[in-house]
Structure 1
Amino acid sequence: MSNIRTKKAICILSGGMDSTLASYMAKNDGYEIIAVHFNYGQRTQDRELKAFRDICNDLKILEKYEVDIPFFTQIGASALTDKNIDVPTGGIEAGVPITYVPFRNGIFLSIAAAIAEKEEATAMYIGVVQEDSSGYPDCTDEFIADMKKAINQGTREDTHINIITPLVHLSKAQIVLEAIKLNVPLEHTWSCYKEENEACGICDSCRLRLNGFKVANQTDPITYKVL
């Protein structure tokens, strides 16, 4: 009988293209995946939850957490969580956009770290993209390195968690091609910030996604209102 322990990874899985690819990469790296999804009052919460569940089925994930974080709607300050702020549709602008949710990834990583410690996982995968993203400050290499240090300082001595960001320096086109290479079911993913039935095609997230498919010379399998 083998004494080799199964290596486990927490995958923060929103149901978007990036986090889904990161989860497939974790599986490819030989990890048993524990998927974590956050319902934080985002406009497309129900559609993202469906994507998460579909992808967990695709990956045959047995252990998953669906975590509710209601306070993001209390603080507002983001077009994703405050219905009084319109989601911008005029194209990607310089600086931190209004779709940035204050310290979202820091909070996600903190909660995921608690789950990782409980589950004795040694890795956490998060699909942050620094090179070709919307300019969010919590998607950078430096931020992730600092979070990793804080998490390992603030957990038990025998807890060692590595935060893995396999997409951080990839362009959206590279992400599309890598996803196709790994047979990721992109038709189950959801990226739109505004709509839950057909993707709007004009928010920042849709624009980044569509441009990635265009540059990669591939066809996006989801339906858009505007192309």
Structure 2
Amino acid sequence: MKNRNRKAVCIMSGGMDSTLAAYMMQEQGYEIIAVHFNYDQRTQQKELQCFESIASVLQVQEKYVLDIDFFKQLGASALTDKNIDVPTDGLEEGVPVTYVPFRNGIFLSMAAAIAEKESAEVIAIGVVEEDSSGYPDCREDYITAMQRAINLGTKDETNIEIKMPLVHLKKSEIVREALKLHVPLEFTWSCYKNEDKACGVCDSCRLRLAGFEKAGVKDPIAYL
């Protein structure tokens, strides 16, 4: 039975990873407070649509949809600056051009404000370290450091744990865990480029498709 005194603020992009993280929190008995960010990313409308569908299936009672124009002004990422092409050849080395500078730090800071206001004891984020695209703000050490900073910068009685239940999983393991928890994967979106049919060739699509292939199941979303 859900314990109404235990709340988890779940940062939910509409993607497979953050959706699974939210399902895992609900499975552990937390009341989900769903948080979604519109930051002028290329697939903003599709991601918002996915978030709303997933929040509905999860029967979320409290949700925040936050608009941030900062990243559009900043640019510096292929996700927020349409003058920068999204790579599709899979050959990029180092930190990819799809990295949005300090995005997770900003998201976690805003989620911390919500968690303190809502008296939530957990923030859940679907970062994946080993099988991600090499984003520095998806590293476990970084998230742990943010947890300490958040607790230093909030009221003494506030004690927030940042849970990252997927951080050491491979994409195939994420797919299997999602199937086990009956996550509606058909409502999730990973493509960096398109909002109608997924491109299948950007880094995020490649990782997703490889995960489904290794898990031995078919991805339920449409691809070009």
TM bracket, shorter-chain basis = over 0.9
| 1:92 Cα offset (Å) | 4.8
The CA deviation string for residues 19-70 of structure 1, in whole angstroms up to 9 with x for no partner, is 0000000000100000000000100000000000000001000100000010
Counterpart AA for 1:51: C
Q: CA deviation at 1:6?
A: 1.7
In 1, Cα distance between equivalents of 2:146 and 2:218? 36
> Equivalent residue for 1:170?
169
Cα distance in 2 for residues equivalent to 1:144 and 1:171: 18
AA matched with 2:129: Q
Gaps of 5+ in 2: none
Partner of 1:202: 201
Measure the CA separation in 2 of the matches of 1:94 and 1:139.
17
Instruction: Please state whether the residue corresponding to 2:222 is helix, strand or coil.
Output: coil
- Identity rate, percent: 67
CA distance in 1, matches of 2:153, 2:168: 28
Report the CA distance shift for 1:26/1:85 in structure 2 as closer, same or farther (over 3 A): same
CA distance in 2, matches of 1:76, 1:54: 29
Distance 1:93 1:172 in 2: 19
Gaps of at least 5 residues in structure 1 are none
1:187 to 2:180 alignment: no
Q: Secondary structure at the match of 1:133?
A: coil
Contact 1:92-1:204 within 8 A present in 2 as well:
no
Separation (CA, whole Å) in 1 of partners of 2:110 and 2:176: 31
CA–CA separation in structure 1 for the residues paired with 2:219 and 2:5: 35
Question: Matched residue of 1:214: which SS?
Answer: helix
Taking the TM superposition and a 5 Å limit, the aligned residue runs for 1:1-227 are: 6-225=5-224
Give the aligned residue type for 1:174. E
- Corresponding letter in the other structure for 1:204: D
Distance 1:147 1:154 in 2: 10
1:94 Cα deviation from its structure 2 partner: 2.4
Measure the CA separation in 2 of the matches of 1:177 and 1:216.
Answer: 6
Q: Report the CA distance between 1:5 and its aligned residue.
A: 5.5
* Residues 15 and 189, structure 1, Cα contact 8 Å, conserved in 2: yes
Counterpart amino acid of residue 217 in structure 2 = Q
SS of residue in 2 equivalent to 1:219: coil
- Which deviations, in whole Å up to 9, do the C-alpha atoms of 1:128-187 show, x marking residues without a partner? 000100000000110001000000000000000000000000000000000000000000
Please report the TM-score for the alignment, with normalisation by the length of structure 2. 0.98
CA contact (8 A) 2:4 2:31 kept: no
Question: CA separation in 2, counterparts of 1:194 and 1:141?
Answer: 27
TM-score (norm. length: structure 1)? 0.97
Letter in 2 for 1:215: K
Q: Which amino acid aligns with 2:124?
A: Y
How far, CA to CA, are the matches of 2:122 and 2:67 in structure 1? Answer: 22
Taking only aligned residues, the RMSD between alpha carbons, in angstroms, comes to 0.8
Secondary structure of the structure 2 residue equivalent to 1:47:
helix
Partner SS for 2:8: strand
Rounded to whole Å, the distance in 1 between the matches of 2:92 and 2:84 is 16
Moved over 6 A (4+): none
- Please tell me whether the aligned partners of residues 193 and 202 of structure 2 are also in contact (alpha carbons under 8 angstroms): yes
